[in-house]
Amino acid sequence: MRKILRIAAAPMFAAAFLLATLSAPANADTTTGTTESDAEIAQEWQTAWDTYKFSDTTPPAPGSGRSRATNSISVDIDAPMPGTFYKYSDFNNHLGRNPFLKRVVTHKQWGEPPALYRNLTAIEEIPYEGMLVVSKTHAQQRLHADRFYYETDSWSEPNVVTHQKITFTPLPGGKTRVTENLTFEADSSLIDFVAANGTAAHQQLQGALKQAIESGEL
């Protein structure tokens, strides 16, 4: 399990929760520490969507105090396409491979060709200083099975927006290359921390999914 960095300042402490941004939603698990009902969480999602418009990919305006950072990470999986695409993009398969994820609340799912849309909130319990802190990531996933890629836009405290595009490319020998293109937006004072830790978390999840797919566990 990855270690949470010990940060003194409150904003940086909050940023430490952004280690996965939504790579791993899963089935509902009533053991999570949240007290809100699914309807209340759905309202939180809608408020975040309306307020932060986190699907908007327009770069932050100069002088806004917000910054953007991008990274691209890849992993080669010794398993063929399209099976790897379906296993990797199925958020249920991420449960247990993100050590903090407890459940996901799916608010709406619908098809709008050529994509399958899903509005959801991923809920994590993060250990810190002997306690569990609940973190919510509100997101929308768009799955493009016709072209073997999916996109996810998300928002979480402290006002961090993440855009992801995950592509799947067949390789010789029946292998598949998975490339995650990650874009982070945050307050300028936090962007380096958010991008570094967010990227590291995605790399960890990539490794866990690679192992599970190659071993036949998935």
- Paired residues of 154 in beta bridges: 139, 162
Per-residue model confidence as pLDDT tens for the chain (218 residues) = 333 322 222 333 344 444 433 333 333 333 455 678 999 999 999 999 999 999 999 999 999 999 999 999 999 999 999 999 999 998 778 878 877 778 888 999 999 999 999 999 988 887 777 888 888 999 999 999 999 999 999 999 999 999 999 999 999 999 999 999 999 999 999 999 999 989 998 999 999 999 999 999 99
What's the pLDDT tens digit per position in 25-36?
333 333 455 678
User: Where are the alpha helices (H) located in the chain, listed in sequence order?
Assistant: 10-15, 38-52, 83-89, 191-215
3-state secondary structure 138-174: EEEEEEECCCCEEEEEEEECCCEEEEEEEEEEEECCC
What's the pLDDT tens digit per position in 48-77?
999 999 999 999 999 999 999 999 999 999
pTM: 0.82
Torsion of CA 27, 31, 37, 41, to 10 degrees: -60
